[in-house]
Chain A
Amino acid sequence: GQSLEQPSEVTAVEGAIVQINCTYQTSGFYGLSWYQQHDGGAPTFLSYNGLDGLEETGRFSSFLSRSDSYGYLLLQELQMKDSASYFCAVSDYKLSFGAGTTVTVRA
Chain B
Amino acid sequence: EAGVAQSPRYKIIEKRQSVAFWCNPISGHATLYWYQQILGQGPKLLIQFQNNGVVDDSQLPKDRFSAERLKGVDSTLKIQPAKLEDSAVYLCASSPRGGGSEQFFGPGTRLTVL
Contact = CB atoms under 8 A, between A and B. Distances in A.
Contacts of B44: 97
Interface string B31-45: 001000000111111
B100 interface: yes
B55 A94 contact: yes
B55 A93 contact: yes
Interface stretch (A10-18, A37-45, A75-83): A37-45
Given A97-B44, A98-B42, A100-B42, A91 B91 contact: no
The binding surface of chain B is classed by DSSP as: loop
The interface size bin for chain A is: 20 to 34
A42 B44 CA distance: 14
Interface residues of B, number: 23
A43 B91 contact: yes
B107 A91 contact: no
Contacts of B91: 42-43
Given A42-B105, A42-B107, A94-B55, A30 B100 contact: yes
Interface of B: 33, 40-45, 48, 55-56, 91, 93, 98-108
Q: Which 4 A-B pairs have the closest CB atoms?
A: A91-B100, A97-B42, A42-B105, A45-B102
